[in-house]
Amino acid sequence: MKVKDLRAVTERFRNELIKHRELYAESIDRTIPDHAIRNTEKLQKQSSLLRRTVGRVRPFLDRFASSFTMALPKYGLEWDGLKSAVGLSDTAQIKGPSMDKVIEELDDVLGQLDRLDPDDDIPEDTQSPTKPGVAVDKLILGYLDQLHPQIKKGCLKLYKDGHFPQAIEEAVKAVFQYIRDKTGRTEDGAYLVDTAFSPKSPLLSFSDLSDQSKLNEQVGFMEMLKGFYKGCRSPLAHTYGKKEDAQRAFEYMVMASLFCRRIDGAKLRKHRGHVLNFESLSLPIRLSTFLRTFLSLAMVFEALRTAWDIADSLTLYP
């Protein structure tokens, strides 16, 4: 239970017990003050609510209270003051002091709770230590600055301004732009991922791909990236007015940040046999590629023509 929740319950319990004590005092016979003889129905209703509260928070109260045990050594009596304070079975000589004692203990408990962080967790087991707790919004705000710079620069302001769907969409765009920046490719979506991470001929690899486990990692992240694009960006781009809450948007941004960090750790591989996607190249690179190809073909043609001339000369002059 959170400290703030226990404090609220304890405060209400204390106030209700004070009301119960006042009504009980009005209901006993002053001549023979053993049991209440008036307001019995109302007292029973109060007692029932108080006993339910005790049943719910007793372990937590026992952690902070010095003791609810009471005694009259002269008469050899000992009893549970908390139980007597909320019940109606004991005589006024037992119940009255018990209510006074419990109210004092509750004041002490409230004072101790005031010194704790309201978001700390208090275990039901009295032997377990109190656990520090942090509210979700505090945790999120504290972590935002730790996101990958590629995600932070395009998404942070959108998120802080409450534009959660836009922050998610920009996070997805940022990941795929990062892949393009690293590989020099211009495609998008699944085609870009397949081109960049295909285990047969990757431009980026997360390992040396030397065994099945490493290949599985490569394929796994490749499929995750394609799913991230298809499952996050596409629905957001084609659904007007879609709402997202702050925590879910934050979790999407963390996922995008993870992808960028894995891309940082990936190795850029230069390999032969890569199938060139001519349409994806910029115009200057297209022209350069075309000229190189043309010159290569011209050289081959010239070599063939020379070989033909030589063969022809051998035929004419045996």
pLDDT of 290 reads 61
Considering only residues 290 and 245, tell me which one the structure prediction assigns the higher pLDDT: 245
How confident is the model over 162-189, as a mean pLDDT? 93
Query: Which has more pLDDT, 208 or 302?
Result: 208
- In tens, the pLDDT along 123-134 reads 888 777 766 665
Q: What is the pLDDT at residue 254?
A: 94
Q: Is 45 helix (H, G, I), strand (E, B) or coil?
A: helix
Q: What is the pLDDT of residue 125?
A: 81
pLDDT for 280 beyond 60: no
Read off the tokens for 128: 């377990």
Q: How far, in Å, CA of 37 to CA of 24, rounded?
A: 9
The per-residue pLDDT for 33 is: 65
Residues 3-21: tens digit of each pLDDT: 999 999 999 999 999 999 9
CB 165 within 8 A of CB 232: no
The better pLDDT of the pair 134, 222 is held by 222
Which position has the higher pLDDT, 233 or 125?
125
Q: What pLDDT was estimated at residue 237?
A: 47
First to last CA, the chain: 106
| Banded model confidence at residue 76, pLDDT cuts 50, 70, 90 | confident
Query: Do 201 and 271 contact (CB within 8 A), yes or no?
Result: yes
CB atoms under 10 Å from CB of 44, counted, come to 12
pLDDT value, residue 149: 94
Q: Tens digit of pLDDT for each residue in 139-148? A: 787 788 899 9
DSSP per-residue codes, 168-219: HHHHHHHHHHHHHHHH-----HHHHHHHHH-TTS-SEESS---SHHHHHHHH
